[in-house]
Chains A and B, each alone.
Chain A
């Protein structure tokens, strides 16, 4: 089913809710037509239409890209019924439609809010996926199969928290360099799993928490004695360094700056 065909169904949805509610209400009243039975039926009808709507929209796992480009979506009406999958192939600028000034109003795509999981694990190209979106809260972003995606968070100005980023395979050499978290000025909480590859920059993240910065530092690979020693840079905003400089929990009792030196990275 094409998007256009689905759009027709969406447009018909309101009438279908009414019709289904009316029919259910009449059935509940044994063929009668009382207001109470109609209201009860209407609720049932709404649920039936909700189920039908999402059955159609998510049949065979409609890719997440299409969801977020629909400008009418917001936190109230975006209630998917099944796991939301990222598109297996290219997802460049997937959530973005900023250049067309049409983008959704969804702010929260955490599973605990949506009620279903958002599965990014099949996605291969994450570049620009969150650019210019109003999304503030994200759950686990699984980049295990990423072939590219160092600009996943580029220009995600509204982003405040990411439960966890499962980092790409270092062999793919995907770096979250200067563009990586650029202008994520509201990003406060983020955690990582796996290892970074190449330079990583949080230079524009003035709100980053101490624990988030530590999570990033603790997932730097140890380049000492390798060809990458003193080749890559990790950068933080001055406010973040102020937090790190006041913290004494770096491994081996050193400062976080010396920890970076120990790992063969540059500041």
Chain B
């Protein structure tokens, strides 16, 4: 049985964060951008490939989401490997 209590303090500005508890055990965080913002998430990035070789160039087109993301309970918010951060939605074409 999952429960998703809302956290009083978010770790990503302009988002609402919830803890995901499975049978009372903390398993995940859920992160939802507040209205007017989108959430950058590297899972939505689009890697750019070299046309001839189709190998990744290391460059990406940043991807943003308006929906909820989730990450593991031990996610390192300092290193932030999925590069969670918010951007005003009107700045994204």
Interface residues of A (CB under 8 A from B): 92-93, 99, 127-128, 131, 151, 154, 178-179, 182-183, 199, 201, 203-204, 230-231, 233, 235-236, 238, 241, 254, 257-258, 260-262, 266-267
Contacts and interface: CB of A to CB of B under 8 A. Distances in A.
Interface of B: 2, 20, 22, 27-28, 30, 41, 43-47, 49, 51-52, 54, 56, 63, 65-73
B27 A203 contact: no
Nearest to A199: B43
A131 B28 CA distance: 36
A265 B30 CA distance: 12
A267 B2 CA distance: 15
5 contacts: A99-B52, A178-B46, A178-B47, A182-B47, A235-B43
Contacts of A260: 70
A127 B56 CA distance: 13
Contacts of A233: 43
Given A178-B43, A261-B20, 10 more contacts: A131-B54, A154-B49, A179-B47, A183-B46, A203-B63, A230-B28, A230-B73, A235-B65, A261-B22, A266-B69
B43 A201 contact: yes
A153 to B, nearest CB: 13
A99 B22 CA distance: 49
Contacts of A154: 49
A261 B70 contact: yes
Closest 6 pairs between A and B when the two form their complex, measured CB to CB: A230-B72, A267-B70, A241-B67, A233-B43, A238-B66, A266-B70
Contacts of A131: 54
Contacts of A254: 2
A266 B54 contact: no
Contacts of B54: 92-93, 127-128, 131, 151
B88 to A, nearest CB: 17
B65 to A, nearest CB: 7
A131 B22 CA distance: 41
Contacts of B20: 261
Contacts of A230: 27-28, 71-73
A134 to B, nearest CB: 18
